[in-house]
Structure 1
Amino acid sequence: MIRRREDFATGSVIETDVVVVGGGPIGIVTALELAKAGVRVALIESGLEHQDPVTQDLAVPASPQNDYFHLRSEVSVRRQLGGTTALWGGRCVKFDPVDFEDRRITAHAPWPINYDDVEPYWQRACDWAVCGRAAFNAREIPEIAHRDMVTGLPDDAVRTSDLERWSLPTRFGRTYASALRDVSGPEVWTGLTCVEIVTTDEGDRVDHLVVKTLDGRVGTVVATEYVIAAGGLEATRLLLVSDRRHPGGLGNAGGHLGHWYMSHVVCRVAVAQFADDSVIHAHERDSEGVYVRRRFTFSPQLQRRLGMPNAAVWLVNPPISNPEHRSGALSGVYLALISPIGRFLLAQAIREQHIETGLAPQIGAHLCNVLRDLLPSMGFAVTFCYARFLRRGRKAPGFVVRSPDNRYLLQYHGEHLPHWASRVELSSERDALGMRRICTHMCFTEADYEGVRRALGQVDAHLREHAVGHVEWLSDDVEELIHRDLKLVGGLHQVGTTRMSETPDGGVVDRNLEVHGVKGLYVASTSVFPTSGQANPTLLGIALGLRLADRLVAARNGQFSVDRTVTPIHRRGGPPHSAGASAVS
């Protein structure tokens, strides 16, 4: 059942078994899994069922926000039911076993769990994301296993068979609306913001939550267990402001709350020149119609030997804003994105990455490209528009045009190494509900920059060894290019600020996501990751939400451990009804 803020009266008390704060993908999955198991659940969402600018303003950081690397909140997060999946492209990637290892480059940020703790949840997470089977290597998919990304290039220390998968894209608020409205589902409250977690006088467990509406109504939520799934920054903010009996915030005994803020190192600083056109440059589809993309990745042995951050590299189009690419298709897309309809075609953050150059648009040159390539451009427009916007079911996640000279720009997507100075902190400025706004300080280290050079150098060596191509840098000043590109992506992924640890001295939550020192309070958010890996965090966040739901259900059933053979709510394939380094900032 979905209730709205108009249904909430001042002084109301919501009583339930488990309250989940935050209606993004992790919160929705956790709440529905618990409700399916018969647990009484309340799901509290600050936003509405649709985008609302007044509610969105609650997520705005303090002004002026001088963080060079951090995107504006209106393009990086969304306060509404379904959360930021309303902006999500749908890319699904699992974390690798090496991410959970005790590595030298992340020795100050150990995971208290290992890969085996999350491996049983990948398929269920894929089911919820609606991205098909949990197969992330081309050799596991018979219909594409016989093809190589580059003919004559084997998997070795550098690999080309690892995949990313793409969801519908799945808008969780829309996809699971019927399940959330079902009388047997959770009690969902929209337009209700949790502004404080109040503990007992002893401070060792939660007494209640304080919730408010934007029109001034105040009430409380009382439960047995409390799950904070409000997104990376908002979960951190809520713990920080709940300092009535815990100076510095809940779970901050070790001083880690808000620190170790990570996103990813994302940049385009080199091109791959291939010897011929025997290259799989575009997305493929498996037998279920799910889009997948091959990438250059690096073996754990190579990562350990060279001390490399985990990373992936894939082929992308040249900058579409520069008409020198001479592609009618790319110029046509650029003209569409800068037109009044452009904001309806792509999420704003992604759109800005493609069109923001700091220079005046060269519209005439782009029109010349389209006219010169008119028939192929028209064919591309019809085919892609159908696949992206009109076809029922799965939408094409994007496109890469074939290069006539076998030359492709490379996208690096790598681990952002944890650094103490990269942080989130409270300001003195307050939002419309009286909560203190946050300031972010995103830092990257020289080790992050060196990771880019090392990874692309390994790709170059691998291509040359097998005589299939080579890598060329776009500039002698690679660091300047990385610095420029990072400005466009910081804050899209929000990791590390409530990190999990074995002891309170090392982090904020324990291996089961329970806040150190506060029984019954859990954080189900990507902010609990001690490291960021090469993967975007959504799929692992969902997997950890599933793991937490299983644990809470098992505890209520008197079980001492989670039964890993638990049947998913629905069938596969469809929805259910580095410290010490110099910082660069």
Structure 2
Amino acid sequence: MILDLETLGDAPPRPRVAVIGAGAVGIVLAVALARKGVPVLLCESGGRTVDPAAQALNDAVVAGRAHTGIAEGRARILGGTSTLWGGQLIAFRDIDFAPRPWLGLEGWPFGRDTLAPYYEAVATMLGLPLRSDDDAAVWSALNVSPPALGPDVEFVLTRWLKEANLARMFARELAENPNLTVLLHATATGFEASGGRIDSVTLRAPGGRELLLAADDFIVASGTIEASRLMLAAADARPGLPWAGNMWVGASFQDHLDVRVGTVHPIDKKRFHDAFDNIFLKGYKYNPKVALAAHVQAAERITNVGGVFTFESSFTEHLGNLKIFLRAMRSGGVPPNLKAMPRHFAALAKMWWPLIIRYLRDNRAFNPADLGIGLRLHVEQKPLRESRITLHPTRRDANGVPLAVLDWRLDGSELEAMARFCEVLAPVLERERFARLEVDPRVAARDPAIFAEARDTNHHCGGLRIGATAADGVVDADLRVHGTDNLHIAGAAVYPSSSFANPTFTAMALALRLADRLEA
């Protein structure tokens, strides 16, 4: 059942669990609990479609390094940021959970083996046809051998969902599961507590209507930045809340750095494309990536690095102009650059046939790369306590909640990881006759000027990290907020470190693990 706080008649039945935030993590968690027979109320700040008033609640201030994702990477809508992402899934590796003293990390309170069954449960829930860690099965289905890159570079395949928007994927259950109620336009603004127990959360609609929602358990799954802001603002308004004095609330914010570090010149074009072109099987996409092996990372005392080859082509420009043309025709407008359209159509006509042949014959993408091939890196940020989210002292949103202030900081150590990755990868590519890697001179020289071109990736992590005690973090190994009996945080906000991988798969796996604990 889907309700709207703005137009709500009677208050919804008291749920056993209230989930705050209907993005990828909140939806997976709420659906999993409802399937177990647990009554759940899933609260979403936005509506079914983009609502400017709701989206305006994301207004924030960037005080440190420029960060576009604080605006572009957050969505207040049923489905949350799953309405924005491409649906890419990649699990964290063993080293991501292990102690890494060279980064000041004591490790997660559990290893990858603890999450392994939950990765597979998420993959099954989302309809993936092959195990998330079985790359060999993908290559076997193609009847080819996987690329050999040696012991220092790992070859990995990321999985992509057919339907990335989880509100659409689970539309029927969100509307019809008798154990699940969705409440739209319901923004959480604070908590009421008795000692260590949360009694209720205050929900506010755009028109000002408020609802004090009681439940047995509460889960904040509203995204890294908003979850940190809610916890900070709630403690600011109620200094007696258990986490009010916790120095880790808002601290150690992380994002991945995305940067083009070199140009790739294939030696054997067929060999290169057979290794690194996207794979399509039964309608699912698999994206080849390369990553620095864990033993190299440990020996070099650096952060995680993963790389992807980007095929730069005028095909993208021609296809973009075709979309603009068709959009204008549908709306009855005058297409821009009409005189250039024959050139775009002619260029696309030359590419359609090889594209179709490559797809049907080889189950691969066709990448003409007439503008070159680049190597882009996703680099794990070293966690820094001073990289953090705080509250603005004077500016507030329409609900009276202080705006978030993001002070995103780096210490520059990521540059060494970028340079060493290129130095390890280049001879491997050449030895195996894949390609010659021409590394950006700034990377080779360890010149911090390259950071000016490194952008954030909308992979927000940290702010409410896991720690054994309140002196070490905000939540315990079961994602329960220290000092409380029934408040949990779900999502990448709890990560003490961030790997190089998209954080969503691991966040959903943690959500299913939490669902098991709440069911017990």
* Structure-1 separation of matches of 2:429 and 2:349: 35
5+ residue gaps, structure 1: 319-326, 345-362, 389-395, 555-585
Shift of the alpha carbon at 1:146? 2.8
- Match in the other structure for 2:5: 5
Gap change, CA 1:382 and 1:466, over 3 Å in 2: closer
Say which of 501, 515, 520 aligns to 1:535: 501
- Equivalent positions of 1:321-336 (< 5 A) are 327-335=313-321
Say which of 111, 114, 127 aligns to 1:114: 111
- Equivalent positions of 1:448-459 (< 5 A) are 448-459=414-425
* Structure-2 separation of matches of 1:112 and 1:246: 30
> Alpha-carbon deviations, 1:266-321, whole Å to 9, x = none?
111212223111113321123x3321011112222222111232221111023xxx
CA contact (8 A) 2:108 2:466 kept: yes
Shift of the alpha carbon at 1:130? 3.6
Question: Is it true that 1:282 corresponds to 2:277 in the alignment?
Answer: yes
Structure with greater strand percent:
2
CA contact (8 A) 2:318 2:347 kept: no
Shift of the alpha carbon at 1:376? 5.2
> Alpha-carbon deviations, 1:430-473, whole Å to 9, x = none?
11111111010111221112111111111013224445433212
Say which of 490, 500, 512 aligns to 1:524: 490
CA contact (8 A) 1:33 1:546 kept: yes
* Structure-2 separation of matches of 1:449 and 1:187: 47
Gap change, CA 1:105 and 1:219, over 3 Å in 2: same
Gap change, CA 1:419 and 1:341, over 3 Å in 2: farther
CA contact (8 A) 2:47 2:185 kept: yes
Shift of the alpha carbon at 1:481? 6.0
Gap change, CA 1:383 and 1:89, over 3 Å in 2: farther
* Structure-1 separation of matches of 2:12 and 2:48: 22
- Match in the other structure for 1:158: 153
Q: Amino acid of the residue matched to residue 29 of structure 2?
A: T
* Structure-1 separation of matches of 2:210 and 2:370: 63
* Structure-2 separation of matches of 1:234 and 1:55: 13
Say which of 189, 192, 196 aligns to 2:190: 196
Structure with greater helix percent:
2
Q: Amino acid of the residue matched to residue 117 of structure 2?
A: P
CA contact (8 A) 2:162 2:283 kept: no
* Structure-1 separation of matches of 2:436 and 2:217: 55
Question: Is it true that 1:271 corresponds to 2:237 in the alignment?
Answer: no
Shift of the alpha carbon at 1:383? 8.6
Question: Is it true that 1:43 corresponds to 2:42 in the alignment?
Answer: yes
Secondary structure of 2:413's counterpart equals helix
Give aligned-pair identity as a percent: 25
Q: What is the RMSD computed on CA atoms of the aligned residues?
A: 3.2
Shift of the alpha carbon at 1:33? 1.2
Secondary structure of 1:20's counterpart equals strand
* Structure-1 separation of matches of 2:210 and 2:488: 23
CA contact (8 A) 1:252 1:508 kept: no
Gap change, CA 1:159 and 1:248, over 3 Å in 2: farther
Gap change, CA 1:148 and 1:81, over 3 Å in 2: same
CA contact (8 A) 2:57 2:397 kept: yes
* Structure-2 separation of matches of 1:40 and 1:374: 54
Say which of 364, 370, 381 aligns to 1:416: 381
In the superposition, the TM-score normalised over structure 1's length comes to 0.79
* Structure-1 separation of matches of 2:48 and 2:496: 32
Gap change, CA 1:76 and 1:338, over 3 Å in 2: farther
Shift of the alpha carbon at 1:41? 1.2
In the superposition, the TM-score normalised over structure 2's length comes to 0.88
* Structure-1 separation of matches of 2:223 and 2:101: 29
CA contact (8 A) 2:253 2:408 kept: yes
Shift of the alpha carbon at 1:14? 5.5
Say which of 279, 285, 289 aligns to 1:291: 285
Secondary structure of 1:296's counterpart equals strand
* Structure-1 separation of matches of 2:353 and 2:48: 32
Q: Amino acid of the residue matched to residue 163 of structure 2?
A: P
Gap change, CA 1:303 and 1:16, over 3 Å in 2: same
Q: Amino acid of the residue matched to residue 7 of structure 2?
A: D
- Match in the other structure for 2:451: 483
* Structure-2 separation of matches of 1:340 and 1:528: 44
CA contact (8 A) 1:179 1:185 kept: no
- Match in the other structure for 1:313: 307
Shift of the alpha carbon at 1:402? 3.1
Question: Is it true that 1:224 corresponds to 2:216 in the alignment?
Answer: yes
- Match in the other structure for 1:57: 56
Gap change, CA 1:461 and 1:550, over 3 Å in 2: same
- Match in the other structure for 2:25: 26
- Match in the other structure for 1:147: 145
Gap change, CA 1:13 and 1:186, over 3 Å in 2: closer
Secondary structure of 2:437's counterpart equals strand
Shift of the alpha carbon at 1:338? 7.5
* Structure-2 separation of matches of 1:400 and 1:263: 31
> Alpha-carbon deviations, 1:110-138, whole Å to 9, x = none?
31121111111111212334443233453
* Structure-2 separation of matches of 1:497 and 1:273: 41
5+ residue gaps, structure 2: 331-336
Q: More displaced, 443-452 or 239-248?
A: 239-248
- Match in the other structure for 1:215: 207
CA contact (8 A) 2:20 2:220 kept: yes
Gap change, CA 1:137 and 1:402, over 3 Å in 2: farther
- Match in the other structure for 2:333: none
Secondary structure of 1:237's counterpart equals helix
CA contact (8 A) 1:136 1:165 kept: no
Secondary structure of 1:295's counterpart equals strand
- Equivalent positions of 1:64-463 (< 5 A) are 65-71=62-68, 73-108=70-105, 110-141=107-138, 142-144=140-142, 146-149=144-147, 153-160=148-155, 162-200=156-194, 202=195, 204-243=196-235, 247=239, 251=243, 253-277=245-269, 278-279=271-272, 280=274, 281-286=276-281, 288-318=282-312, 327-335=313-321, 341=327, 371=343, 375=346, 377-380=348-351, 401-403=367-369, 408-427=373-392, 428-463=394-429
Shift of the alpha carbon at 1:245? 7.8
CA contact (8 A) 2:253 2:389 kept: yes
Q: Amino acid of the residue matched to residue 515 of structure 1?
A: V
Gap change, CA 1:214 and 1:245, over 3 Å in 2: closer
Q: More displaced, 476-485 or 99-108?
A: 476-485
Secondary structure of 2:230's counterpart equals helix
